[in-house]
Structure 1
Amino acid sequence: MARNTRIEHDLVGDKEVPADAYYGVHTVRAVENFAITGSTISQFPELIVSLAAVKQAAATANRDLGLLPQDLAGAIIAACEEIRGGRLADQFVVDPVQGGAGTSTNMNANEVIANRALEIIGHPRGHYEVIHPLDHVNLGQSTNDVYPTAVRLALVASLRLLDDRLGKLAAAFTAKAAEFSGVLKMGRTQLQDAVPMTLGQEFTAYAVMIEEDRQRLTEAAALLLESNLGGTAIGTGINGHPRYAELVCARLAEISGEPVQPADNFIEATQDCGAFVQLSGVLKRVAVKLSKTCNDLRLTSSGPTAGLGEINLPPVQAGSSIMPGKVNPVIPEVVNQVAFEVIGNDLTVTMAAEAGQLQLNAFEPVIAYSLLRSLAHLRAACDTLTTRCIPGITANRDHLHDSVHRSIGLVTALTPHIGYAASTSLARQALATGRPIKDLAAETGMLTIAQLDTILRPEHLTGHSAQAAAKVSP
């Protein structure tokens, strides 16, 4: 044995472990076996904190039930509290995508906690005859109830962060909507002129869409707070104390601050990934709507002279290595790409959830990896859009005003007063001659200039005072 290693033993045999490592033999084998993503579970601090919370709750419950000596429980609890505070994150080194239904992640946590607990009570790392990763840290537990519970808590914590970012993004759109409340523009359907609206109404709709998604995220979070902790291997609770399941969930709720509840049926809860599928669908919904919004921002800012040119996005970097002066909508573009990734992750979650067999889904690691990445990248995308794009948007007010008054879409406002057929005739004339609808309508004599001025007032055109406009008589 080299001086900078220690020897640990498992089912497969002896293995050298770095002497200064808090992890042990099971973790070393997992690192060797699963070099998949190039990252480690430490990339997701919410998961590490949640694992430590689950282990702390288990140690507390086992202590209270008289199953774990007070001194050992105290050391394990202290180690868990340190990890929850951010210590030893670099010791969580297994790849998030792994075989074994999360066993490698659970063992990584068991070993780190055991070795830190040993240090706390004055023993060297690896002296598992005093505090053992399985006999003590994993007492009354299985990967099959620890891992999914930790993943659920991590997802809830990450959801809280995403909700905060979405709230800030919605607020940015709302502020911009107020700024643009009096800016008239043409609404479009199927990329064709429809009827007038305000730019403020357009931006308000984006804020409303985001707020709707925040409600759906809250609903998805509630489903994740049901735990199978105490069900052990397949939900029957084998090797567990009769009171353990209820007690450990109560302790976990106290430690995490989340209202964790025991599942109604642990066998169902151990194999069912429905809550993950539900969350993934909501994240896809968020991504789709964010991407659609960014499509709109890119389209309405297209130009600056040969496109729609209705708004200007803040210039954040030069846009071309060959075309001088070109500025691209890079912030909406990067949000689009995050959305594409999240939509792809949803398919991964769907397939992994469907692939479960009998009493366990072995593919929860890729579900967790996909969902945690989606949440992290959506948070970053919202931050980027909120800070680097929305507040700096400006409106080309004169251009928007002229576009409205040149558009044949104005004729829709005249239909209640002169009829559909006459309105269609005016629209054809306007399109053929390029003359404004208002001028052509005045020439017909069906409406006076005063009546047209009332009907075509911006507040009437945008629905703010539709009843008043309807009272105008030809």
Structure 2
Amino acid sequence: MMDAVPMTMGQTFATFEYQVSNALLRIDDTLPRLLVLPQGGTAAGTGLNAPPGFDGLFCATLAEATGLSFAPSPHKFEGMAAHDALVEVSGALNTIATSLLKIANDIRFLGSGPRCGLGELLVPDDGLTSSIMPGKRNPTIAEVLVQACFQVIGNHQTITLAGASGNFELNVAKPVLIYSLLQSLRVLADSARVFSRRLVCGIDVDRERLATNVDQALLAVTALNPILGYDRVAQITATALRDRVTPRAAAIALGILDGDEYDRLVDPAVLARGSASR
């Protein structure tokens, strides 16, 4: 976790929002294949002894009861020997868990502190404190989501192996596949809901801390590279780091820029917009 160029907290949360939006799309993308059912395949997919039209009647009855557009599988051998649609759902959940794990950890770190951490986010108090250190608060809600994501990612490995164990026209590993998939659905939905309600909805930013961090940001001077050249900008950075001053103060002390020039050339808001500002 090393210093880099400035960005806005809005950009951070827009990244999270985009990940979650894609997560919803990934789930939606799996639904058409989940609605294709092999019922009526009977023995190994042959349809032996099934009444004529049973598959269509079954799907129509189920569709009427659920409001979902179930349809008979056109290839019942595949539907019984393999469960690729279920593995696909687990793959989507695995990707979502990966995204949520990143989001939860980023929020944990951005809210760390209050004195020795990053402390840029103010995380809602969950009412719990350390059993050893009085008053110490931990990001327990985020930690719950992190552990749920671990479970889903681990379950995906089980589901993948179970899905690959459909030998010829029968998959005897379907019980563990279904158990793991249902568990993934439940723990991911429950933990995401709790994370949203008890943490995300109450998050705020520490504006004073953010302002201090922006003021002290060493690598904002990257904007000066096209003007001063890499080596002179590196001199400013090294001086600011050595003398424990801001890059602005270092540039002035070195006689490279005056304050007005620095403020005009190194505008954190413009830097955060990047190429979009050009």
Question: In which range does the TM-score fall when normalised by the shorter chain?
Answer: over 0.9
Pair 1:286-2:90 in alignment = no
Match of 2:241 in 1: 431
Alignment partner of 1:265 is 2:75? yes
Distance in 2 (CA, whole Å) between partners of 1:383 and 1:256 is 24
TM-fit CA distance, 1:377:
1.0
Counterpart amino acid of 1:221? L
Please state how far the C-alpha of 1:241 moved relative to its aligned partner: 2.4
How many angstroms apart in 2 are the aligned matches of 1:392 and 1:464?
Answer: 30
1:428 is matched by which residue type in structure 2? A
Q: SS at the partner of 2:119?
A: coil
| Maintained 8 Å contact 2:111/2:122 | yes
Q: Structure 1 residue 449 and structure 2 residue 259: aligned?
A: yes
Q: % of aligned pairs identical?
A: 38
Instruction: Output the CA distance in 1 between the equivalents of 2:54 and 2:188.
Output: 37
Q: What code does the residue aligned with 1:195 have?
A: V
Structure with the greater relative contact order (CA < 8 A, sep ≥ 6): 1 or 2? 2
**2:229 is equivalent to residue 422 of structure 1:** no
Larger deviation, residues 419-428 vs 443-452: 443-452
CA distance in 1, matches of 2:268, 2:195: 30
The alignment status of 1:397 with 2:207, answered yes or no, reads yes
Q: Tell me the equivalent position of 1:360.
A: 170
Aligned-residue offset at 1:245: 2.2
The two structures have a TM-score, normalised by structure 2, of: 0.93
2:127 corresponding residue in structure 1: 317
Structure 1 residue 455 displacement after superposition: 2.7
| Whole-angstrom CA distance in 2 between matches of 1:293 and 1:201 | 13
Counterpart check, 1:388 vs 2:198: yes
Q: Within 5 A, what are the aligned runs for 1:70-89? A: none
Contact 2:162 2:177 in 1 (8 A): yes
**In 2, Cα distance between equivalents of 1:409 and 1:416:** 14
Q: Where do 1:335-354 residues align within 5 Å?
A: 335-354=145-164
Tell me the TM-score normalized by structure 1.
Answer: 0.56
Match status 1:246 vs 2:46: no
Matched residue, 1:378: 188
Cα distance in structure 1, aligned partners of 2:166 and 2:275:
57
Aligned partner of 2:113 in structure 1 is 303
Give 1:448 deviation, angstroms.
Answer: 4.5
Unpaired segments ≥5 residues, structure 2: none
Q: Distance in 2 between matches of 1:231 and 1:458?
A: 64
Distance 2:109 2:14 in 1: 18
**1:380 and 1:203 mapped to 2: Cα distance?**
21
Partner of 2:45: 235
Q: Deviations over 1:282-330 (max 9, x none)?
A: 1111111111111111111111101111112111123212211111110
Which structure 1 residue ranges, 5 or more long, are not aligned?
1-190, 469-474
Alignment of 1:3-152 (within 5 A): none
For residue 384 of structure 1, what is the amino acid of its counterpart? V
- 1:204 equivalent in structure 2: 14
Q: CA deviation at 1:271?
A: 0.8
Which consecutive aligned stretches of 4+ in structure 1 deviate over 2 angstroms post-superposition? 241-256, 439-452, 454-459, 464-468
Whichever residue aligns with residue 403 of structure 1, its letter is N
